[in-house]
Structure formats: structure tokens, C-alpha cells
A and B are shown apart, each in its own frame.
Chain A
């Protein structure tokens, strides 16, 4: 049985001199307190506490949705679950072969053709040349890229890249599938196809973890929802309840008058609510 267990996972993202104060020195922006930031003596941001005390368990057939604002830690959590970043504290125990589709632009050779990337990704997934050849037609068919598979991936549109990545990732029988929100970049027909494929996958006792801002996509594909807020789990429960709790908070925030000292552009939905 496949499983994935996160135990008190915390991750601090070090920034290594990638922040600079020069842009804001002349006109300092009054910041609101954010306890995620770790500041140096000179006020520079040294690191960000991206994830704090995340604990949950998933078993075969579970379908988890990650929701939360931009910057709430969804993608970082996916990367930790995929085994790319080892957590600073706590651990992730995984039983089963995890495949991730987190960043569309990574993990492909953009100068190489679509076909060549099928081969490379297959080899990287530990598959033999024969197994890759067996799957090649299926990938070509699912991605509907046809002759475009003979062209370099750098000539593809975002949607085409996504089709290819998704087709490859699901072809090599993953046991744990970790997907970031870009899946919503596909057209309606592809989204439906992708949902169907994800359901087949979960039917075979796979574990699906999907981060998205699209409630429809999440309701269709997930049963459980975890709402991340500033790197912590704010809510963990059935997907509809999680979406509702999250939506209630976003509505509440939009109607509340904004603090006067807070600078920066107002969020679009906030602006709409007031006008």
C-alpha cells in the first residue's frame, strides 16, 4: 500500500544575499509584520520560514487538495513531499514511487525534441528503453502533439508543454502524483481528459496531491483539502469544507477596511468589493 506521511515538517528558505535594500532605501515601504521573515541586523531578509509544523498522512486512493493564497507555501510543500527539498525539521516518509509536475519549465531539455524528452524523462524515472518505447505511442496520443513531438520543446506553447509533461508523468505508472496549479493552463477538453486520467490513477490506489486555485478542478479531483496559511496548516478536512472555510476568510478580508499604513496595490477582489 502506498502512503506518504509528513511529520512536523518545517522548512526555512535561505536567501543567500539575493535580497537587496537598495531599491527601497530612499523610500522605505512601511511593512506589516510578517513573522515568517528572518531579518538580519541591517534589516535585510535572510530567510523565510516557508513551512511550519506540517503533519498529515495520506494512504492509497487519497486525493489531497492544497489551497491557500499565493506565497502560502503550497509549492514549497509539494517540493518537500516530492523529496526535492529535505525538510529542516521533521520528516516525510514515502512508500511508493513519487512523480512530480511542479514547475513546467524544469526537468525538460528545451533544446531537445518532444520525443527525446520522452526518452530522457523515462530514463530518469528509472525505466528501460523497451518500456519507454512501449509507452511512446500512448504518450503521443494522450498529448495530441503529433508531429510536434519531432520539434524542440522550446518551440512549444505553455499549453503544449503541459500536455507533454502531464502525458509523460502519468504514463510511467506513478504511485504518488504531485501536481502544481499549472494544470489549469490546459483547455477545457484537456482538463477533462486530465481529470479522467487522474481518476483512473487514483482508482489504482495511487495518491494524488494537487495544488490549485480552481475550486471546480479541486472538487472534481480531490476528496480532502488542506488550507495553508503562512506556511502552517489552517484547516484540514473534506474538500468542500476546506474550500468554504478558505472562501469565507477571503470574503471577510475583502470587506474589511484595509489598515491605513499598509502600502502596495490592493488586491483586485478587494478593490472590486469596495467600488
Chain B
């Protein structure tokens, strides 16, 4: 396809100065970014300006500064979802409490770690897993669902990513509150080790931005991606130690869990809260995955971002 749309750089702005605009044309590569306040500088819209290798980072930083906008968008979407219901957003809380209760009732006997420990294990693990997977599945639609705004405003595209992340952070926070309640009820107390969960949470948020941006671009361009991802995620649920404990498994199932990066993402957050040190290899997997995700997102943004408004 690139043969007819790939003539992008044929007319490089710099080689095309018209005499009457020589002042403005001196900086044709200047980005419409936060660094050039509106009204002061010249914003240039061109193929070259929209496909710089650093465009992901510019977009992500510009969007972060507009937190009022994405918080308002996210809040509206949440309210819309629970509009006219009496409990409203509390439903997230109630639904998770009922889920944990059900799991405790049916599955607590199967694990060797003891019923109380297992309920905490599931309450923490399932909420975290849902957040991680939610970023992946929501990511596929993050731009196509906001096509309405992408095609009518020049807001940084990362705004839609932050909106989506903000919404899932809100949900997981309520769910983890349920987990915390269960933990305290069963006599859990925080230790210094528990603090190791904080860097894990920070990594989750950081990676969520890159994952959603990357999948958002691919999901908008290739409409099979959302379906493919949903299919894979369903399989991964069984390959991730949420309702079972990896240490209690042998052979193929333990191996399958270990090749699944989600296992390691889950472990670095859950293990410290359960009073265990996460394996160093888990942190290594997470850090390497994060670097790969960000690199992939940067390349995708560089090569694809310019065409996004045509796809949504």
C-alpha cells in the first residue's frame, strides 16, 4: 500500500520555501507542542512534522500536561456507565466483594496454602490481573472509540490513553480496597516488604501508557487485532497463576506460567503483599518487557501515528 501513500517526504517543507513566508518557513519542523505556547510560535502540520522518531514522547508529555481534560473525559464515561443506577460507581466495589466471596466459598479448599491465605491471594491477584489485561483489551479500542474527538480536534492522542488508564485505575483501586479489607480482616499487617509493591504499581502505570498507545494504533489500523487479542487473553487467564499457585505446580504447567509475562507482572506486585520476596527473575522479565513495549510503541507512533485520523 505504501506505493501510493508513501510519497510523504517527496515534498520536504524545507525545499519549498515561498518568498512571502520565509520567516515562518524557517522553522517548518517546529512541533505544535507545549514548548511553543499557542499564539506565540508557528505550528507546522506536515508529513515530516507528524512522523518524527520522537513523536511518541512529545505526544505523551503534551497529553500528561492536559490532565484536566482526560480526567473530565474519564469521569464522564464512568458516570455515563452507571447513570440512573442507585449504587452507581459503588457497583464496582460490590461486584468485586461478591466475586471474592464466591471464590472463597468454592475454591479455598483446593490450595495447599490455607484458606485465608488463598482468599487474599485471589482477591489481590484477580484485581491486578484484570487491570493488566484491561490495559491490553481497552488499548485495542482506545483510539477507535475516540474517533469522534480525534477527527475534530488537535488534542494530543495520548489524552485518550490517559483517559482509559485513569478509568481502569479507578476501578482497580476500588477492587484493591476490597482486597485490603479482606486482608485486614484475616489479620494482615503491612511490613517493610509490602512497600516493594509500590515500584511494581509504578511500572504498571508506565507500561499501560505504551501498551495502550501501541495497541491503539494497531487496533485502529487492523480491525482483527481487538478480536485476536481478546482470544489470546482468554487463554492467558488459565496460564496465569490467579486461581492456582505457581509454586504448587510441577512440569508443563509451571513452565507455561513462567513463559507468560503476566505471571511475572503479577508476582512483583502480589508477592510482597503476601509477605514473600518476588523472584529476581520476575523483576528482570518485567523490566525487559517494559523496555520492549516502549520501544515498540515509539516505533509504531513514528511510523503509523500520522495516519491515525484516517483509521478511526
Chain B binder among A10-18, A221-229, A237-245, A262-270: A10-18
**Do most interface residues of chain A lie in helix, strand or loop, or is the interface mixed?**
mixed
For A116, the closest partner residue in chain B by CB is: B76
Q: Can you list the 10 inter-chain pairs with the closest CB atoms, starting with the nearest? A: A91-B46, A107-B152, A106-B152, A86-B50, A89-B11, A91-B13, A97-B38, A83-B154, A93-B24, A92-B45
List B residues at the A interface (Cβ < 8 Å): 1, 4-5, 7-8, 10-11, 13, 16-18, 20-21, 24-25, 28, 32, 38-39, 41-50, 66, 68-69, 72-73, 76, 80, 83, 148-155, 221, 306-307, 309-311
Q: Which residues of B contact A46 (CB under 8 A)?
A: 1, 4
Check if A7 is an interface residue, CB within 8 A of chain B.
yes
- The A7-57 residues at the B interface (CB cut-off 8 A) are 7-8, 10, 12-14, 16, 38, 46-47, 55, 57
Per-residue CB proximity of A71-105 to B under 8 Å, as 1/0?
00000000110111111111111111110101101
Contact (Cβ within 8 A) B72 A8: no
Contact (Cβ within 8 A) A119 B42: no
Q: How far is the CB of B8 from chain A (nearest CB, A)?
A: 5
Q: Which residues of A contact B39 (CB under 8 A)?
A: 2, 95-97, 175
Check if A129 is an interface residue, CB within 8 A of chain B.
yes
Contact (Cβ within 8 A) B24 A55: no
Q: How far is the CB of B158 from chain A (nearest CB, A)?
A: 14
Q: Once the chains are docked, how many angstroms separate the CA of A128 from the CA of B67?
A: 12
Contact (Cβ within 8 A) B41 A86: no
Contact (Cβ within 8 A) A89 B18: no
Q: Which residues of A contact B43 (CB under 8 A)?
A: 83, 93-95
Query: Which of A16, A89, A93 sits near B10, CB closer than 8 Å?
Result: A89
Query: Which of B1, B25, B73 sits near A93, CB closer than 8 Å?
Result: B25
Contact (Cβ within 8 A) B68 A88: no
Check if A260 is an interface residue, CB within 8 A of chain B.
no
Query: Which of A3, A12, A97 sits near B24, CB closer than 8 Å?
Result: A3
Q: What are 18 sample pairs from A and B whose C-beta atoms fall under 8 A apart?
A: A7-B25, A14-B310, A47-B5, A79-B151, A86-B45, A86-B50, A86-B306, A88-B7, A89-B10, A90-B13, A91-B28, A93-B25, A95-B39, A95-B41, A106-B149, A124-B149, A126-B38, A175-B39
Contact (Cβ within 8 A) A7 B149: no
For A128, the closest partner residue in chain B by CB is: B68
Q: Which residues of A contact B68 (CB under 8 A)?
A: 123, 128-129
Q: Which residues of B contact A5 (CB under 8 A)?
A: 18, 21, 24-25
Contact (Cβ within 8 A) A87 B28: no
Q: Once the chains are docked, how many angstroms separate the CA of A13 from the CA of B4?
A: 10
Check if A220 is an interface residue, CB within 8 A of chain B.
no
Contact (Cβ within 8 A) A14 B5: yes
For B50, the closest partner residue in chain A by CB is: A86
Q: Which residues of B contact A12 (CB under 8 A)?
A: 4-5
> What bracket does the count of chain A residues touching chain B fall in?
35 or more
Q: Once the chains are docked, how many angstroms separate the CA of A93 from the CA of B49?
A: 11
| CB contact under 8 A between A91 and B44, given known A109-B76, A112-B76 | yes
Contact (Cβ within 8 A) A88 B5: yes
Contact (Cβ within 8 A) A120 B72: yes
Contact (Cβ within 8 A) B45 A91: yes
Check if A200 is an interface residue, CB within 8 A of chain B.
no
Contact (Cβ within 8 A) A92 B42: no
Check if A111 is an interface residue, CB within 8 A of chain B.
yes
Q: Once the chains are docked, how many angstroms separate the CA of A55 from the CA of B25?
A: 13
Q: How far is the CB of B20 from chain A (nearest CB, A)?
A: 6
Q: How far is the CB of B3 from chain A (nearest CB, A)?
A: 10
| CB contact under 8 A between A124 and B13, given known A88-B8, A95-B24 | no
Contact (Cβ within 8 A) A83 B45: yes
Query: Which of B8, B72, B153, B310 sits near A13, CB closer than 8 Å?
Result: B310
| CB contact under 8 A between A124 and B155, given known A3-B24, A89-B7, A112-B76 | yes
Q: Which residues of A contact B45 (CB under 8 A)?
A: 80, 83, 86-87, 91-92, 94
Q: Which residues of B contact A86 (CB under 8 A)?
A: 45-47, 49-50, 306
Contact (Cβ within 8 A) A123 B4: no
Q: Once the chains are docked, how many angstroms separate the CA of A38 from the CA of B47?
A: 20
Q: Once the chains are docked, how many angstroms separate the CA of A109 from the CA of B80?
A: 10
Contact (Cβ within 8 A) A7 B32: no
For B4, the closest partner residue in chain A by CB is: A38
Q: Which residues of A contact B16 (CB under 8 A)?
A: 7-8, 90-91
Q: Once the chains are docked, how many angstroms separate the CA of A186 from the CA of B155?
A: 28
Q: Once the chains are docked, how many angstroms separate the CA of A216 from the CA of B28?
A: 37
For A47, the closest partner residue in chain B by CB is: B4
For A100, the closest partner residue in chain B by CB is: B152
Q: Identify the interface centre among A5, A55, A80: most chain B CB within 10 Å of its CB.
A: A5
For A90, the closest partner residue in chain B by CB is: B11
Q: Which residues of B contact A87 (CB under 8 A)?
A: 45-47
Q: Once the chains are docked, how many angstroms separate the CA of A89 from the CA of B5?
A: 10
Q: Once the chains are docked, how many angstroms separate the CA of A85 from the CA of B154?
A: 9
Q: Identify the interface centre among A7, A13, A111: most chain B CB within 10 Å of its CB.
A: A7
Contact (Cβ within 8 A) B47 A88: yes
Q: Once the chains are docked, how many angstroms separate the CA of A38 from the CA of B11?
A: 20
